[in-house]
């Protein structure tokens, strides 16, 4: 009897162990919402770790906001290491770029100029562009850590200024300003809608990187070939599946596509913010996330490919990369067609794209062709057709790429890096260093996949938080930095002698501007800098402490005076009263300097 009982217990224990072993062997499940390159990367990385992954894509095909160009330039390993790594993994071959296309060129009033041509034929424009680059480099150099751009109150203040106002102070000639505006529109958005801090931070990321490294090779077939390579590796992709709701509970997540529900352990949300705003989340996202969904600025872009049976422009420009026009044509990208002829990919960006929203696709193409035909009269005769993508009016995109507006880094920097319960976020807008690029999308997909694995392992994932550095009187100057740079940039007179003592004094209130009340996301007038107000509000506390110090010392100094004979009292009271009077101005001076430093 006892033996039978022991045997039964043993069998029960074996059964429980076997059940637990089977349960632990059961693969984890994940749903990736969004079939762009960020979502495909997250799915690929999770599947490689043994996860069962389903990709849900709203459109009829994967690829998201991949470029329209059939052949596009890519950076070197120095600029885009992850992109090049995946190209090697999937055995996709790129073609080295010809030397003459590895720097931007210009189309000025219909005449094509290389950088060398411009220096000879339009020296004033070339000199102004050089001066602008040097000024921008000085600005970028002030940011020590591009992952923590608002590290002190002076840098924080850059987030309240738009790029257009900063450019106004450079006194650039008209043609140079037009070309610079087109560069900024194409890569980000209209200068008047762009935070100067974001512009400086992105310039800092690429500081020291030669233009040649940014256009090191061509990828025949463009980013579409990389999309196809990812797609072939994934086991479960469901297109035409727009997600309407995501419901989280303690042990799983349910993703709704119409009336159909998909259940998984975790979810990666890899869709643009405008599309994310249309998904009902339960429990709801917090106020900061909702504010980011409503307010974060996206660049505006229409991308048009005009097809020609023969090139109608200067043959030297046929294989060029970026060509910036001083007219409404924006940025042109000229390339050979895969089946003969040639294509011109034109990016209408910023306010130029916003104005064109009133036109239908055919009307928009006609407007662009009219402008091109004015420069090249053979254009209409050689024209054979077009393709178009209008990112900004696409309901699933709502814009091209992230472009923080004034005040928005102060509010939303790195907010999407942290998972919310069982949901992790991916997409170019979640990458701190390379937003708006293939590299940023791929990096974000890898990060989200890693976060999901950490959550499954029971780890509490928190993004790295870098504490704000104390705000000095001026930005920490490097040996080669010009003194008074920020003072000149904000306007006003340089006074280095008055501000010099401030760093030596203890400054407990210096970090306060970093946690100041957040400014409004709308374009901000440069004079409205909230951090300075906060610093001034905290100043009375410091003054109060300055006044209290002599008050506590007075009784100690009066006591010896009382012990002296009555005749000598008046003589000793005068020095005792004068001592605090001399001490007070000396202690007030640093407090005044701190306020000036915080407001600089």
Going from N- to C-terminal start, the domains of the chain cover: 27-67+220-297+402-456, 98-215+300-393, 485-599
Token pair in block for residue 27: 């693969």
Share above pLDDT 90 across residues of the chain, in percent, rounded to a whole number: 50
Q: Across residues 84-107, what is the average pLDDT? A: 88
Least confident of 325-334, 356-365, 567-576: 567-576
Is the pLDDT confidence value at 587 over 50? Answer: no
DSSP 3-state of 508: coil
Q: CB count, 10 Å around CB of 250?
A: 6
| Higher-scoring residue by pLDDT: 55, 577 | 55
**Best CATH choice for the domain 27-67+220-297+402-456 from the list 3.30.365.10, 3.40.50.300, 3.40.50.970, 3.50.50.60:** 3.50.50.60
Is the pLDDT confidence value at 23 over 90? Answer: no
**Confidence (pLDDT) at 467:** 56
**Confidence (pLDDT) at 288:** 95
**Confidence (pLDDT) at 312:** 81
Among residues 375, 374, 380, 387, which one has the least CA distance to residue 343? 387
Provide the pLDDT confidence category of residue 586 given band limits of 50, 70 and 90: very low
Is domain 98-215+300-393 in CATH 3.90.660.10, yes or no?
yes
DSSP 26: S
Token pair in block for residue 402: 């992230």
Share above pLDDT 70 across residues of the chain, in percent, rounded to a whole number: 69
Token pair in block for residue 413: 């920097």
Cα separation, 492 vs 301, whole angstroms: 37
Task: List CB contacts of 358: < 8 A, sequence separation 6 or more.
Answer: none
Model confidence pTM above 0.75: no
Q: Looking up tokens 């960006």, which residue turns up?
A: 349
Same fold: 27-67+220-297+402-456 with 98-215+300-393: no
Q: Across residues 408-427, what is the average pLDDT? A: 96
Is the pLDDT confidence value at 374 over 90? Answer: no
**Confidence (pLDDT) at 165:** 97
Provide the pLDDT confidence category of residue 65 given band limits of 50, 70 and 90: confident
Is the pLDDT confidence value at 539 over 50? Answer: no
Is the pLDDT confidence value at 160 over 70? Answer: yes
Is the pLDDT confidence value at 354 over 70? Answer: yes
Cα separation, 52 vs 307, whole angstroms: 43
**Confidence (pLDDT) at 571:** 44
Is the pLDDT confidence value at 530 over 50? Answer: no
Q: What is the CA radius of gyration of the chain?
A: 31
Q: How does pLDDT run across 241-282, given as a tens digit for each residue?
A: 999 999 999 999 999 999 999 999 999 999 999 999 999 999
Is the pLDDT confidence value at 346 over 50? Answer: yes
Least confident of 379-383, 463-467, 496-500: 496-500
């Amino acid at each position: 009897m006892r033996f039978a009982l022991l045997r039964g217990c043993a069998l029960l224990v074996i059964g429980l162990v076997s059940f637990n072993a089977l349960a632990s062997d059961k693969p984890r499940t994940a749903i990736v919402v969004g079939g762009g390159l960020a979502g495909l990367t997250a799915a690929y990385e999770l599947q490689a770790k043994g996860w069962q992954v389903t990709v849900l894509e709203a459109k009829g095909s994967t690829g998201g906001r991949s470029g329209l160009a059939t052949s596009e330039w890519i950076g070197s390993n120095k600029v885009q290491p992850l992109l090049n790594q995946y190209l090697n993994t999937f055995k996709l071959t790129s073609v080295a770029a010809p030397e003459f296309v590895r720097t931007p060129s210009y189309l000025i009033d219909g005449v094509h100029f290389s950088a060398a041509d411009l220096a000879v034929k339009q020296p004033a424009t070339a000199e102004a562009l050089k001066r602008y680059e040097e000024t921008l480099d000085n600005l970028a150099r002030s940011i020590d850590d591009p992952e923590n751009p608002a590290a002190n109150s002076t840098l924080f203040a850059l987030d309240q200024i738009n790029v257009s106002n900063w450019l106004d102070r450079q006194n650039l000639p008209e043609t140079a300003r037009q070309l610079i505006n087109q560069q900024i529109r194409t890569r980000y958005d209209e200068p008047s809608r762009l935070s100067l801090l974001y512009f400086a931070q992105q310039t800092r990321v690429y500081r020291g990187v030669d233009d040649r490294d940014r256009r090191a090779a061509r990828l025949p077939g463009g980013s579409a070939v990389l999309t196809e390579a990812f797609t072939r590796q994934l086991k479960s992709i469901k297109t035409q599946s727009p997600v309407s709701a995501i419901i989280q509970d303690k042990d799983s997540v349910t993703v709704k596509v119409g009336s159909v529900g998909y259940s998984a352990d975790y979810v990666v949300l890899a869709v643009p913010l405008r599309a994310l705003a249309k998904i009902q989340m339960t429990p709801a996202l917090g106020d900061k996330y909702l504010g980011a969904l409503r307010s974060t600025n996206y660049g505006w872009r229409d991308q048009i490919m005009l097809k020609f049976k023969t090139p109608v422009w200067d043959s030297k420009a046929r294989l060029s990369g970026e060509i910036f026009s001083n007219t409404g044509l924006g940025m042109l990208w000229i390339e050979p067609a895969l089946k003969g002829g040639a294509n011109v990919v034109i990016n209408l960006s910023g306010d130029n794209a916003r104005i064109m929203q009133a036109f239908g696709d055919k009307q928009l193409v006609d407007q662009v062709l009219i402008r091109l035909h004015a420069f090249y009269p053979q254009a209409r005769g050689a024209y054979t057709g077009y393709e178009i993508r209008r990112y900004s009016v696409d309901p699933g995109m709502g814009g091209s790429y992230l472009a923080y507006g004034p005040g928005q880094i102060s509010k939303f920097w790195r907010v999407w890096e942290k998972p919310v319960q069982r949901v992790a976020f991916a997409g170019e807008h979640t990458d701190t260093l390379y937003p708006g690029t293939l590299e940023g999308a791929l990096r974000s997909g890898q990060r989200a996949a890693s976060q999901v694995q950490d959550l499954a392992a029971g780890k509490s994932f928190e993004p790295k938080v870098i504490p704000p550095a104390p705000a000095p009187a001026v930005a920490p100057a490097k040996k080669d930095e010009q003194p008074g740079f920020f003072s000149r940039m904000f306007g006003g007179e340089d006074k280095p002698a008055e501000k010099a003592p401030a760093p030596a004094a203890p400054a407990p209130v210096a970090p306060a501007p970093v946690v100041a009340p957040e400014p409004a996301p709308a374009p901000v007038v440069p004079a409205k800098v909230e951090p300075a107000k906060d610093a001034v509000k905290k100043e009375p506390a410091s003054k109060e402490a300055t006044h209290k110090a002599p008050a506590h010392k007075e009784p100690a100094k009066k006591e010896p005076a009382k012990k002296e004979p009555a005749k000598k009292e008046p003589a000793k009271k005068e020095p005792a009263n004068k001592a605090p009077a001399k001490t007070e101005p000396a202690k007030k001076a640093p407090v005044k300097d701190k306020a000036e430093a915080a407001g600089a």
